[in-house]
Amino acid sequence: MLKWLRQLIGSDGAPAPGAARQESAPEPGPLPGQKWIYVTATGCDVASAVRSIDGVLRVTREGGYWRIVADKELQIEALKELGRGNW
C-alpha cells in the first residue's frame, strides 16, 4: 500500500534532488599536457599564421575567436607570428 501511495503522489522512482539534468554540459578544459590559447583577430588568417609554429596541434574557429591547441606555452610565438603579417 505504501508503494501505491508513493506512485500516486509521484515520489516513487522520482530522481534524487541532486540529479538535475544539465541542459548544456560545460566545455571540458584542455587534456593533460595541452594548452589552449584564444585569439580574437580581424583582418588576418590566424590559422595560417600559427599552424607553422612548432607545438601547435590544432586551430579551430569558434564563434568570434580562434582556439589554438598546443602542447606547450606559445603565446609569445603566436603574437610574434601574427605581428609579422606573413599570412
Domains of the chain: 32-87 (3.30.70)
Beta-bridged to residue 35, according to DSSP, are 70
Q: What is the pLDDT of residue 11?
A: 47
Which ranges of the chain would DSSP assign to H, the alpha helix? Answer: 2-9, 46-50, 75-84
Question: What are the pLDDT digits (tens) for 7-47?
Answer: 555 544 545 555 555 455 556 788 888 999 998 887 888 99
Is-above-0.85 flag for pTM? Answer: no
> What is the CA 5 to chain-centroid distance, rounded?
46
pLDDT of residue 59: 94
Say whether pLDDT at 69 is over 90: yes
Look up cell 599536457; give the residue.
33
